Each structure stands twice: as C-alpha cells, then as structure tokens.
Amino acid sequence: MAQLDAENVGLVFMKPVFVKKIWGGRKLATEFGYTIPDGNVGECWAISAHPAGDCAIEGGPFEGLHLDELWAARRDLFGNCLGDRGKFPLLIKILDTHESLSVQVHPGDVYAAEHENGSLGKKECWYIVHADPGSQIIIGQHAKNADEFRKMVEAGDWDRLLNKIPVKTGDFFAVNPGTIHALCGGCLAIETQQSSDITYRVYDYDRVQPDGTKRELHIEQACDVVDFSQVPPTSGEVTAPEVDGVTELMRCDKFVVDRIRVKEAKSVDQKWPFMCVSVYGGEGLVKVLGKEYPLKKGSHFLALSDAGTMEFSGELSMITSHLPE
Ligand code: ZN
C-alpha cells in the first residue's frame, strides 16, 4: 500500500510505459536495457501522467501509484503547481526510430482547446542521443501559404515541400506548434513535450499497418495549424556553452530543458516545483535527503519540491526539464 501522507520523499522513480509503433525498433531493449513487448516498439513514455500512458511509481512510499494519482493527491510535493489547465504539464519520452515517423504537425494550445475537446497543444523538442551515420530529419517546410501547401501535398511533391537536413548524435531540435516535422530512421531521441497526444499526420509514406489499413491523415487540420512564417532550421548543432557540465538546450514559455553531464561529482539544486531527470548515458548515484539511489542509462525520476540539493556521483549524462520561472 502506498503511504500517501509520506514526508521527505525527495525523488520518485518511474516505470516507463512502452508503445508499439509502425516505425519502431528494438533499441529500447538493446541500447537502454528495458524489458519491452515483442515487435516494433517506438516509444518509451518515461515520465508521464497522460491518460494514454500514465507511469507507475517504482519503489519508495508511493510504489504502485500512478503519476497522475500522486499529482492529484499530493500537489504540495509539486510546489502546489497549478499545472497546464490542471494537468501535470510535461511528458518525457524516448523514441527509437527504426524507420521514419509520419510527417506531422501539432496544434498550439488555442487550436487544440477549440478543436480537440479541450486538449493542450503540443510543443516538443528532441535531444538526439544517437543517430546512425547519414541520418536525416524533417523539420520545417517550404510552402508560403495553405494553398501552396495543399497543392504540394496533393501532388506528393515531398522533396520540394519538406525541409530535410542531416542529424547527428548530440543535436537538439525545438519543434514549436505549427512546425512540420518527422524524425527519420536511425535515431534515438529524448523528447520533452507538453502533456498532449494531438498529432496531425500529413504523409505516412503510404505504409500499411499489420491489419492492412493505412493510418489516418489530417490534411485540413494541418493546413489550419502550419505556421507559414517560420524559417526552417539548417542544423541541430548545439551552440550554447557548457558551464560546469550544464548546457541549456531550450527555454520557452512551457519548459526549460538542460543537458547535465557529471564527470565525477556534481551538486544540482532542485529549486523548482519539480524537475524531470532522464539518464541517457553512464552510471552512478544520486544522494537526496540522506538517501542514495543508483542511476544508470534508462533511469527516469522526478525530483519533487522537497528534494533540496541532489548530489550526483559517477559518470552520468542526463536531460532535465522544469517549468520556466
Ligand atoms: Zn511530433
């Protein structure tokens, strides 16, 4: 039984939820060491309170509760954060793209609220943990308006429409609502996003699912939400400086995402309502409130508002996120 009134909790570890995808592979088992279902597994929902994949808490006083239940019952441990329209606001995934994802676009909050039953919009970003040599990514598009976009989609003029650029290990991409995008085959990425599952699919390579059907396309919604004023990026190279192991990858109105690398030891102050931490390389320990927790590639935890200083040791590469000030 979970002890709902527990104090001095500090950290809660997550048991990921795995999702099969037409484009997925086996690297979540072979590279991250997870026990995953048979078949093509594309997504690890690593820190999530979303109803489509609400993570169970592993170990500690809240063992067995789902994150959404803890969020509902103990908002004090999240700094009494209001969330995004009441919901736990962030969703962290690992993606294994054995093949290309569908070319897609997500709506912003306003469009999603109006057209998707009050859902949140979806801003997301990717840190590329690994990219096979020669891998590519689609991010942005070249049509000037919805008419031109629709014509190029109908003609299947993908080479001219889509902005396809090379991707390498260590790259980072911000994907704002209204940005046409797709990770292509050969990548492992950590995705930090708003807690939303609304995707408008523009092109799915005419793929057929095991049941013989094709996945639905949403061209009209895509025409509504594509931001035609965006200038597509030419590279995902991280140019921000690394200061004492910390590199700020993105800061926006929804989240702040950092990469933290520990060489031997490092302290990190948890001064936010909560912080999401995902280990994507190395192994070591974290000491919080006098307790020590082993960490390895594939560990994911939430540092709660009472965590204080986190003392990391070992050799660790991590992606962290928290809400902006
Ligand atoms: Zn997406």
Query: Which domains occur in the chain, in start order?
Result: 11-225 (2.60.120.10), 246-322 (2.60.120.10)
Render each residue's pLDDT in the chain as its tens digit; 325 residues.
789 999 999 999 999 999 999 999 999 999 999 999 999 999 999 999 999 999 999 999 999 999 999 999 999 999 999 998 889 999 999 999 999 999 999 999 999 999 998 888 899 999 999 999 999 999 999 999 999 999 999 999 999 999 999 999 999 999 999 999 999 999 999 999 998 889 999 999 988 888 999 989 999 999 999 999 999 999 999 999 999 999 999 999 999 999 999 999 999 999 999 999 999 999 999 999 999 999 999 999 999 999 999 999 999 999 999 999 8
What is the C-alpha to C-alpha distance for residues 106 and 111, in angstroms, rounded to an integer? 10
Over residues 22-33, the pLDDT tens digits come to: 999 999 999 999
What distance in angstroms lies between residue 11's CA and the mean position of ligand 1's atoms? 29
What distance in angstroms lies between residue 242's CA and the mean position of ligand 1's atoms? 27
What is the C-alpha to C-alpha distance for residues 256 and 272, in angstroms, rounded to an integer? 11
Judge contact between 180 and 105, C-beta under 8 A: yes
What distance in angstroms lies between residue 256's CA and the mean position of ligand 1's atoms? 18
Buried b (16+ CB within 10 A) or exposed e, 215-239: eebbeebbbebbeeeeebeeebebe
* CA–centroid distance for 61 within its chain: 26
- Does the active-site annotation cover 160? no
Over residues 4-53, the pLDDT tens digits come to: 999 999 999 999 999 999 999 999 999 999 999 999 999 999 999 999 99
What is the C-alpha to C-alpha distance for residues 106 and 108, in angstroms, rounded to an integer? 7
What is the C-alpha to C-alpha distance for residues 292 and 143, in angstroms, rounded to an integer? 53
Q: Which amino acid is at 155?
A: A
What distance in angstroms lies between residue 118's CA and the mean position of ligand 1's atoms? 19
What distance in angstroms lies between residue 47's CA and the mean position of ligand 1's atoms? 17
Instruction: Choose among 89, 164, 125: nearest CA to 249.
Output: 125
Judge contact between 17 and 36, C-beta under 8 A: no
Instruction: Choose among 137, 259, 104: nearest CA to 192.
Output: 259
What distance in angstroms lies between residue 123's CA and the mean position of ligand 1's atoms? 8
Judge contact between 106 and 168, C-beta under 8 A: no
What is the C-alpha to C-alpha distance for residues 226 and 116, in angstroms, rounded to an integer? 16
What distance in angstroms lies between residue 181's CA and the mean position of ligand 1's atoms? 7
- 26, 150, 201, 215: the catalytic one is 201
What distance in angstroms lies between residue 10's CA and the mean position of ligand 1's atoms? 31
pTM attached to this predicted model: 0.94
